[in-house]
Amino acid sequence: MKTRLYLSFLIMLSFSLMSTTCDTDDDVLIDNSQTIAEITNIAESGTWRITSFVDSGQDETNDFTNYNFTFEASGTVTASDGTNQIQGTWSVSDDSNSSDDSSSDDDIDFNISFNVPNTSEFFDLNDDWDIISYSSSTISLQDISGGNGGTDTLVFQRNN
Tens-digit pLDDT profile for residues 14-43: 555 555 445 445 555 678 999 999 999 999
Is the distance from CB of 47 to CB of 54 less than 8 angstroms?
A: no
For the chain, what is the mean pLDDT? 84
pLDDT reported for residue 29: 65
The answer to whether residue 143 sits within a structural domain is: yes
Q: Is 13 helix (H, G, I), strand (E, B) or coil?
A: helix
| Cα of 139 vs its chain's centroid, Å | 11
Q: Is residue 13 domain-resident?
A: no
Contact 90, 43 (CB under 8 A): yes
The enclosing H or E element of 113 equals strand 108-114
More confident position, 22 or 51: 51
Domain presence at residue 87:
yes
Q: Which domain holds residue 136?
A: 30-158
Residue 71 identity: F
Give the total number of structural domains in the chain: 1
Q: What is the CATH number of the domain that holds 104?
A: 2.40.128.270
What distance in Å separates the CA atoms of residue 1 and residue 7, rounded to the nearest whole number? 10
> 3-class DSSP state for residue 10?
helix
